[in-house]
Structure 1
Amino acid sequence: MPFSSLRPARTRAHDLPTELHTELPTELPADAGRAATGIAVVLLAQLMLVLDATVVNVALPRIDADLGFGPASLSWVLNGYTLAFGGLLLLGGRLGDVRGRLRMFQIGLTVFTLFSFLGGLAQTPTQLVLARALQGAGAAMAAPSVLALLTTSAPDQAARNRALALFGAVSSAGASLGLLLGGVVTDLGSWRWTLFINVPIGLAVLVLVPRFVAETPRRPGRFDLVGALTATLGAVAIVWSLIGTPEHGWLSGRTVAGFAAGLVLLAVLARTEVRHPHPLVQPHLLRDRERVVALAAMALVIGANLSMFFLVVQYDELVLGFGPFATGLAFLPFSLGVFAMSRVTPWLITRMGPRRMVLTGTAALVVGYVWLSGLTGTDDYLGSVFGPVLIAGLSTGFVFMPITATVLSDVEPEHAGSASGLLQTTQQLGAAVGVAAIVSVYAAGAVPGQFLPGLRAAFLTSAGFSLVAFLVTAIALRPRRAPATVTALEPDRAPVADAA
């Protein structure tokens, strides 16, 4: 019996003897080149979708000067994208399962590319915010299909592990690359090019993807309309409440009412999903303890990362005097750290297992954020910022692949889109929670006209997020002894489960 058909009964990769992990294919499949090209094309689209959440950050002052937003409404250039993206991901994942993942990927990417172009032409604040929201809607339709297309395009287990590692690298480094790209095009051209740059990339992907990526089978079944509405509106209500907390406060009527509405809608969703024959979110996906723990760890790591971006960008510009390009360049160590780790995490996961990798990475994140909490007005970049930013990049790259593999472990092929949507919804909610919490902590200690007061407490809060991720992983992902017996694995099950 070939090795690929073996799987330990009721266990995961971190329970297996090391020798079982080291046997990888020694010959490339006949279609390996085509598969690799398909994976590269899909990852390029994922990078574009992720970096667009931050690419306009460093251009915000020039957008404000050009279109006249005002301080209260300027944040909606970012929030419009986040709100639509985070609110519609679950719906996008289920549509991919039912209608075909390649089809939904193409539709979503078309919408995203079109409104990138129209956003670059915007002449009023309303036009730009509307275009950003519709960009986010297109991204939510395309993004959940990315993971499913990656795993189906990979010809073997080794290729699938590498694809997951690159997906983690692209997803985690995309935010910092967005800052760098935004700084370059804003300094050299105009803020409008932060949107226009998506157009040629989107068109190239749309032309190439049908040639190198095969459609996945459609899963017939009655569409869960109530689940779609409650999941979308519930997620939108929670994200809307979170992004408003720095301005309105955690106990304001707006925030409390938004959270209450979101929780009621999610309660209706939970009740609906248990009863519906074809639910939007499969209840069994959330009954797996390890999957839930991995989702929680992902949310905490993302929340800490995005809050770090928010604070370090301002420190670089307001304290160190960096311009948009230099600020983006200052995050290059983070991106390089993430991509460097993506080269070794497929090898490391077979030897360390997800649990030890996540523990190591989150512990290092705590160290990096505690280091940043000591920033002062007399520090320089190389002495006080470069080191912790590099640590954050290496550590993030270390944890993303094992978390992603754990979330997708043992997911039936027909539910891969839903699981991917659940993972990426968790990332968006984690980002919103992290930024809202850290900004609120910062604001509590801030002094008008000064940036440094409140900074220490904010970075220590980021360290606290990472520490909680470490503790949750240590407590809930306990290693278990591998069973003595080995049972056959159905040939059509995704081998990525073996890596988690």
Structure 2
Amino acid sequence: MSGSTPAASAPTTTQSSRWWALVVLALTQLVVVLDGTIVNIALPQAQEQLGLTDGQRQWVVTAYALAFGALLLLGGRIADYWGRKRSYLVGMLGFGAASAFGGLAQSGVELIIARGLQGAFAALLAPAALALLTVTFPSGRERNTAFAVFGTVAGAGAAVGLVLGGVLTEFADWRWCLLVNLFFVAIGIVGGLILVAESKADGRNRYDLVGAVTVTLGLGSLVYGFSLAEGGWARLDTIGFLALGVALLVVFVLVERRVAQPLLPLRIVTNRVRAGAFLVQAVIGSVMIGAMLYLSFHLQIVLGLDPLPAGLASLPMTVVIMIVAPIATKLLPRVGPRPFMIVGPLIAAAGLVYLSRITADGEYVVQVLPALIVLGVGLAFVFVPLQNLALTGVAPHDAGAASATANSAMQIGGSIGLSVFTAIYAAAVSGQTSSGAGQLESFTAGYSAAFLAAAIGLVVASIISAVLIRGKASDLLPQGDTPAVVHA
């Protein structure tokens, strides 16, 4: 069945300003993604200065991803209805203010609150940026190029965050991992005012408040339930929050089927190709947010690297992504996205399996570097087509909601992945400790278990792609002059 929606007002831009707008929007995506990992390298120093518990340490990462993912759908609809440029600018200002608050935090609670506020404003900023990109490059080869650039920047952002976090922690202070955002925010606001044209959905639009409440509480309860699993999957509070999260999400789906203007039009997620892309995006989020956190711990705690060397140690993955992505972009129109989406996760999984063989007395060059190179190749193949697939065939009216769903999948996947990996890590460490292993050996066993779990997730992502992402390359990557119609 075809979903028909009113056309959105499209921005009017010159050819050159469109590409400069892409630079600004890609920079925005870089900031949003790197802030998910930039504090990873700084966490050991921040934990010592602020007296964070291990649980609070995890929530410095989880608070950002959870608030981001849970509020993205609402943020997407606000962008559609209120105006994408306006939402972008307000999101930028709020993100900058929250970053300043976090950089000046004097306690673990303040830092966690600041990270949650960052995530909330990022939930307004990110879908507005991606929706602006969608309506600025509505179709054709230029759209594929724009999305390839945008996806590559997003993919490299997590690793860039690790490197930048290492530089700032080593030569300045961990607080600059948050304060540095003020420079990006200034560039984004000036560039947005000058280069980005306003666009929004036409017609009379009403917010789906019941849907917003049920999906936000449902996702929050689900992620919190997974975070409690570290203390045991059979605990009553773990089961209770997981069950409550599932129930609220079921209610959300029922609400969306009945309201006239849903927060998430179900036609966006019932399309088979887009559903597959969203699921893969969730798995990729778990790897980029969850697995990379444990890599930074291994580099600093077990291998004993200082913050800057630890950040630089993750750079090979970024370099490989930047090298492989242009090659993949050229091949994409010829072979189509499906082979990339099947093979890419398998290559990345092989890298993580290799990484899971780390030992406490191993060397970086032998045990970590080869894994990062292979991981970078696999992720590059996924990043290039992923954003485009997630938004293929979406009508301009739904651009914000679809963009929000794509981002939400990655952030919620990262939140759940981090919680699951933490539970697996804790169980492995406990088992090693009870058997008499040393502290570093126990930590290494925990990291290894987390990497192996992430590899299994990527294999599942490859299977999902093989089953759901089907069709001709011309259908999955439309080359015409007008956007494809939504098919549900």
The worse-fitting range, judged by mean Cα deviation, of 77-86 and 422-431 is: 77-86
Letter in 2 for 1:350: P
Give the Å deviation of 1:419.
0.5
In structure 2, do the counterparts of structure 1 residues 141 and 310 end up closer, same or farther at CA, with 3 Å as the change threshold?
Answer: same
The worse-fitting range, judged by mean Cα deviation, of 363-372 and 234-243 is: 234-243
In structure 2, do the counterparts of structure 1 residues 121 and 478 end up closer, same or farther at CA, with 3 Å as the change threshold?
Answer: closer
Aligned to 2:165: 182
Whether 1:472 aligns to 2:464 is yes
Match of 2:85 among 81, 96, 102: 102
1:388-430 deviations in whole A, cap 9, x for unaligned? Answer: 1121112111112322211111101000110111111111121
Letter in 1 for 2:309: A
Aligned to 2:449: 457
Give the Å deviation of 1:494.
6.2
Contact 1:86 1:239 in 2 (8 A): no
Within 2, Cα distance between the matches of 1:121 and 1:301? Answer: 32
In structure 2, do the counterparts of structure 1 residues 482 and 85 end up closer, same or farther at CA, with 3 Å as the change threshold?
Answer: closer
1:421-446 deviations in whole A, cap 9, x for unaligned? Answer: 11111111211222222332232222
SS of match in other structure, 1:279:
coil
Within 1, Cα distance between the matches of 2:222 and 2:408? Answer: 12
Q: 1:372-391 residue pairs with structure 2 within 5 A?
A: 372-391=355-374
Q: 1:307-322 residue pairs with structure 2 within 5 A?
A: 307-322=290-305
Letter in 1 for 2:227: I
Within 2, Cα distance between the matches of 1:260 and 1:402? Answer: 34
Q: 1:119-198 residue pairs with structure 2 within 5 A?
A: 119-154=102-137, 157-198=140-181
In structure 2, do the counterparts of structure 1 residues 488 and 467 end up closer, same or farther at CA, with 3 Å as the change threshold?
Answer: closer
Within 2, Cα distance between the matches of 1:245 and 1:58? Answer: 25
| CA-atom RMSD in angstroms | 2.4
SS of match in other structure, 2:29:
helix
Aligned to 2:340: 357
Q: 1:67-466 residue pairs with structure 2 within 5 A?
A: 67-154=50-137, 157-219=140-202, 220-246=204-230, 248-446=231-429, 447-448=432-433, 449=439, 450-466=442-458
Within 2, Cα distance between the matches of 1:440 and 1:122? Answer: 28
Within 1, Cα distance between the matches of 2:474 and 2:212? Answer: 40
Give the Å deviation of 1:479.
4.8
Give the Å deviation of 1:344.
2.8
SS of match in other structure, 1:453:
helix
Give the Å deviation of 1:80.
2.0
Within 2, Cα distance between the matches of 1:168 and 1:73? Answer: 31
* TM-score, normalization by structure 2: 0.89
Aligned length in residues: 464
Within 1, Cα distance between the matches of 2:163 and 2:310? Answer: 7
Aligned to 1:16: none
The worse-fitting range, judged by mean Cα deviation, of 119-128 and 171-180 is: 119-128
Within 1, Cα distance between the matches of 2:179 and 2:446? Answer: 37
Give the Å deviation of 1:65.
2.4
Within 2, Cα distance between the matches of 1:163 and 1:197? Answer: 26
Give the Å deviation of 1:66.
2.1
Contact 1:41 1:209 in 2 (8 A): yes
Within 2, Cα distance between the matches of 1:179 and 1:482? Answer: 37
Contact 1:168 1:397 in 2 (8 A): no
Contact 2:72 2:407 in 1 (8 A): yes
In structure 2, do the counterparts of structure 1 residues 81 and 477 end up closer, same or farther at CA, with 3 Å as the change threshold?
Answer: closer
Contact 1:90 1:425 in 2 (8 A): yes
Letter in 1 for 2:172: G
In structure 2, do the counterparts of structure 1 residues 482 and 279 end up closer, same or farther at CA, with 3 Å as the change threshold?
Answer: closer
The worse-fitting range, judged by mean Cα deviation, of 353-362 and 456-465 is: 456-465
1:179-204 deviations in whole A, cap 9, x for unaligned? Answer: 11111111101111111111121022
The worse-fitting range, judged by mean Cα deviation, of 412-421 and 315-324 is: 315-324
Letter in 2 for 1:232: T
In structure 2, do the counterparts of structure 1 residues 250 and 173 end up closer, same or farther at CA, with 3 Å as the change threshold?
Answer: farther
Whether 1:38 aligns to 2:21 is yes
1:95-144 deviations in whole A, cap 9, x for unaligned? Answer: 11111111111111111001111221222333222222111111011111
Contact 1:183 1:327 in 2 (8 A): yes
Contact 1:39 1:154 in 2 (8 A): no
The worse-fitting range, judged by mean Cα deviation, of 419-428 and 117-126 is: 117-126
Contact 1:54 1:175 in 2 (8 A): yes
Contact 2:281 2:410 in 1 (8 A): yes
Letter in 2 for 1:363: L
Give the Å deviation of 1:353.
0.7
Contact 2:321 2:380 in 1 (8 A): yes
